[in-house]
Structure 1
Amino acid sequence: MINHISPKLTVYFQDNLAGHLWLDSERRFVFQYTRDWAKSLRAVPLSVALPLQEEAFENDKSRSFFANLLPEAQIKIIISRNLQISDKNDFALLEKIGGECAGAISVFPEGLMPQVKPGYRKLDKESLHNIIISLPQRPLLAGEEGLRLSLAGAQNKLPVYVENEEISIATGNAPSTHILKPPIPGLPDSVENEAFCMILAGKMGLPVPRVKIFHTPDAFLLIERYDRSWDKKRHLQRLHQEDFCQALQIMPDQKYESEGGPSLPQCFNVLSSYSLKPAADKKALLRWIIFNVLIGNADAHAKNLALLYHQRKPSLAPFYDLICTMAYEELTDKLAMKIGTENRVTWLALRHWENFAETVEIKKSLVLKELVKMSGEIILKAEDLAKSFIKDHGDVKIIPRILEKIRKNAMQVKY
């Protein structure tokens, strides 16, 4: 019997009770699957790092999984302050805001169950505008009655439900369909930047969710959630996912390789070890790396990669959070994960890509083939997209700067 000093939290997978989470006498996380879930033929593990078993995961072994469900950095600090909780108290934060998380997981105080009937609160333009401008002071609307929303990341965002272009807030345990991302303070045209890069990724053949820019009159981005799906009866279902930090048991404040976080070889190893289709997924991951180099996205870290579950077995999820960070002079140009031994785009040489190929165990010829192919395609595709993008959204100042970075980076990697 494991002693615990805290009330237990119940962990649901979709609408099924999957396990319990508590703190032991030394305030370490302990998670245990219920016997029914551990033995069920349709059960899915929370993580590849937390395989189905009846024995408890003690000594904080589950902490990284649950911590990675929560917001990060300043967003987490503000939410904690609003809820009068220490920002170091992940357990208490999960209790307060763990109702609508990434993937199929919901966390509730013991005795509180998911609502059978989901609820949605429609927002008119004025209400939506007021919510967007209040997000810096009230991230995820934490503390508002009936809302228990959580999304990982260091930027403001809000899970919402969209139907017929009407936007609603999910209440209780109702699932959302989209993620709303307002402008990033200090980064002009961040909404247009991310929309452009996400659409460009799709045109380059990368799997990405659909995105759309809305105005209230402020611009914001709506991103379709790939971890939500409609069943045949038009019921909205949660699909399970976990990011690569969760899979590798890395805490969110260590997501950057320079801080001891995951490297590209570790990310490829996740796919080799757990993916339903490792060869195809590793090629997709290679193309994601090249695309981020070409668009100048230095913030492509392991929390921007995820496994999406199909029954019990996962594969690489669609890509998200694609943005040209190098369009902003104040942001670093050092890549979040090294290519070989180099993390500066302008310093990347053929030897770095060859070294990278060796460390991730991919044929050098495949890496160079994709480099040549993608660098040869992206300039024309980006220029064509820019024409239609400006036609739809006006003269957005960031677009010429993104095109400049793409041209420069594409010429840099043409070996």
Structure 2
Amino acid sequence: MTKADAYRLDIKHANQVIGNLSLDNTTNLLKLNYSQLWRREGFAISPHLPLDNHHSPEVAYNFLDNALPEGEARKLLAENLGVSEKNVYSQVRAIGNDLAGALTFLPPSKEKQKKPSFRILEEEELVTRLNNKEEFGLLTWDDKPRLSVAGVQDKLNVFIDGQGNIGFGDGSLCSTHILKFEKKNCSNLVLNEFFCMKLSGAIGLPTADVEYKQFGPHPSLIVKRFDRKYVGDSNKVMRRHVIDGCQMLNLPRDYKYERNLGDGRDVKHIRDGASLVKLFEFTEHMSSPIESKQWLINWQLFNLMISNYDSHGKNVSLFFDRNNARFTPAYDLVNIAMFPQFKQELAMAMGDEFEPNDIHAYQLADFAETCQINKKLLSRLLTDLANKVIKQLSTGALIESLTIQSHFCEDDISYFKQLSDNILTKTEYLKAQAADIPKIEV
């Protein structure tokens, strides 16, 4: 490989080279260029990366920075490669075959499609790694970095074939599912997310498919990726392009919280990060603004009902291509109130309020006004959504259906009941505020 090739990656969509990503080794700035053919026949991969190639290096950096792992996994990836954590180019170069969505970023020498290969991850091997994950992490397998995403939970991207075998795919195969595990100080986190995700689906909200599975003593949530589809007949994985909220708004990944500088006394008034106001403003540019606004309202109201305070700018995504700009199914739904060790503050304010226990009719009306939502519509959607949640939880229908689908012990069922009671109390309170929302002038 020549030195010039080392500083350039081909960008591919559906195995077609659509452009290239290059790093200027004198200025250390990124440049993303579409090919002439893609400029004529393709689509912009982000609202801020137009087909005319007129965009700044910062936009390309933000787009790719948001596509990479966060937290401890990001540090481990950089250490594994022997580069700075801010060296986005080198990290994309290493794991560019399995980022979120449909795009791959590969060196020109790897332009030819490799034959599909599947490295099965036996349960015993996974359990052994999980037993020692605090020491060895989940990033590197067979001396090769595999995209793992850090956050509240440890996560690992895997391919699952038609027979249910779990492992790592290469060539025309890539990850189709995400395994999510618990950290040692977060007991019942997997059960919590499983319950919240199933509740979301049960009341009719578009939600990622999840399953619960125990690997030895380790509970796991298996999340089916909505940007991937395995086609068994051709033994390949079809990819669909998605962007997250920070990419949608052209924000750095550190701006996923509205208070991008934190909630310290001197900086808490600075709110340049992702916000509900910015997300609602963007719905005007989506395929169906009315449908998108309603999705976003229901998403935020449900987050309030389940006390998912950590619903930040990277916890919402879009399908984004030539014909579509629509919200993906919901994901990362967790009741944060059940974990006092986590920060009990809203990632994005309701109107002007970040304190979840101070969300009453006035704050809901303020949310409606700041996001230009009709207050009668908000009142009606809140009531309808609350009724659906209350029906599932007050009758015990959801817990009954979950215990039929999977084997849970008595302690698990007891936790489900605690969680159900917590959500039910919050939902009934929010429902009681609905009637006053249209009457309030902020």
**1:321 is the counterpart of 2:320:** no
Q: How does 1:98-117 map to 2 (within 5 A)?
A: 98-113=96-111, 115-117=113-115
Aligned to 1:272: 284
Q: CA deviation at 1:154?
A: 6.3
Question: Is the Cα contact below 8 Å between 2:95 and 2:146 reproduced in 1?
Answer: yes
> What amino acid sits opposite 2:56 in the alignment?
E
CA contact (8 A) 1:29 1:61 kept: no
Q: TM-score, normalised by structure 1?
A: 0.91
Letter in 2 for 1:99: N
Preserved contact between residue 78 and residue 137 of structure 1 (Cα < 8 Å): no
Contact 1:209 1:320 in 2 (8 A): yes
Partner Cα separation in structure 1 for residue 85 and residue 140 of structure 2 = 13
Distance 2:390 2:237 in 1: 39
In 2 relative to 1, CA 366–114 (structure 1 residues): closer, same or farther, beyond 3 Å?
A: farther
Which residue number corresponds to residue 240 of structure 2?
A: 239
Structure 1, unmatched stretches of 5+, are none
Residue 69 of structure 1 is matched in structure 2 by 67
TM-superposed deviation, 1:390? 4.7
Between the aligned partners of 2:232 and 2:167, the Cα distance in structure 1 is 22
| Counterpart position of 1:384 | 397
Equivalents in 2 of 1:267, 1:143: separation in Å? 37
Distance apart, 1:231 and its partner CA: 5.9
Q: Which residue of structure 2 lines up, in the alignment, with residue 47 of structure 1?
A: 46
The residue aligned with 1:216 is: 215
Q: Secondary structure at the match of 2:379?
A: helix
The answer on 1:406 being equivalent to 2:423 is yes
Deviations 1:325-374 (A, max 9, x none): 11111112211111111122211121211121122222111111111222
Q: Distance in 2 between matches of 1:198 and 1:13?
A: 30
2:109 partner SS: coil
User: What's the C-alpha RMSD, in Å, of the aligned pairs?
Assistant: 2.4
| Cα deviation, residue 95, structure 1 | 1.2
Percent identity, aligned pairs only, is 29
Q: 1:201 to 1:409 in 2, by over 3 A?
A: same
Q: Residues 91-132 of structure 1: CA distance to partner in whole angstroms, max 9, x if unpaired?
A: 111111221010001112332226342211122221232344
1:138–1:11 Cα change, 3 Å: farther
Unmatched segments (≥5 aa) in structure 2: 261-271, 434-442
Equivalent residue, structure 1, for 2:436: none
Alignment of 1:252-401 (within 5 A): 252-259=253-260, 260-273=272-285, 275-309=286-320, 311-382=322-393, 383-390=396-403, 392-395=407-410, 396=412, 398-401=415-418
Residues 15, 113 of structure 2: 8 Å contact kept: no
Could you tell me how far 1:156 is from its partner in structure 2?
Answer: 2.3
Q: Out of 356-365 and 128-137, give the one that drifted further.
A: 128-137
Q: Which residue number in structure 1 is paired with residue 440 of structure 2?
A: none
CA distance in 2, matches of 1:71, 1:28: 20
CA contact (8 A) 1:197 1:295 kept: yes
Q: 1:158 aligns with which of 120, 132, 156?
A: 156
Q: 2:85 & 2:378 partners in 1: Cα distance?
A: 42
**Cα distance in 2, alignment partners of residues 279 and 231 from structure 1:** 33
Conservation of the 8 A alpha-carbon contact between 2:63 and 2:250: yes
Shift of 1:136: 4.5
**Cα-to-partner distance string for 1:45-75 (whole Å, 9 max, x where unaligned):** 221111222x353332211110011111222
Shift of the 211–251 alpha-carbon distance from structure 1 to 2, 3 Å rule, reads same
Give the letter aligned to residue 155 of structure 2: K
Does structure 2 retain, via aligned residues, the 8 Å contact 1:276–1:314?
yes
C-alpha displacement at 1:145, in angstroms? Answer: 4.6
State the distance in 1 between where 2:397 and 2:5 align: 60
TM-superposed CA distance for 1:314, in Å, is: 1.8
In 2, Cα distance between equivalents of 1:168 and 1:398: 31
Q: How far is 1:230 from its partner?
A: 4.7
Distance 1:140-1:63 versus aligned 2 partners, 3 A rule = farther
Residue 153 of structure 2 contacts residue 182 of structure 2 at CA under 8 Å; is this kept in 1?
no
Q: 2:115 touches 2:171 (CA, 8 Å); kept in 1?
A: no
1:409, CA displacement in angstroms?
A: 1.1
Count of paired positions: 408
- Report if aligned partners of 1:98, 1:150 keep a CA contact under 8 Å in 2: no
Aligned residue type for 2:365 = E
Q: TM-score, normalised by structure 2?
A: 0.86
Distance 1:154 1:326, change over 3 A: closer
Q: Distance in 1 between matches of 2:94 and 2:384?
A: 48
1:227 aligns with 2:227: yes
- Comparing 19-28 with 230-239, greater Cα deviation is found at 230-239
Contact 1:194 1:322 in 2 (8 A): yes
CA distance in structure 2 between the partners assigned to 1:252 and 1:144 by the alignment = 29
The answer to whether the 8 Å contact 2:113/2:172 transfers is yes
The answer to whether the 8 A contact 1:33-1:56 is kept is no
The separation in 2 between residues aligned to 1:403 and 1:150, in whole angstroms, is 30
Q: Shift of the alpha carbon at 1:164?
A: 2.3
Structure 1 window deviating more from structure 2 (221-230 vs 240-249): it is 221-230
CA offset at residue 143 of structure 1?
A: 6.7
Q: Distance in 2 between matches of 1:190 and 1:18?
A: 41
Distance 1:154 1:354 in 2: 31
CA separation of 1:191 and 1:10: change in aligned 2, threshold 3 A: same
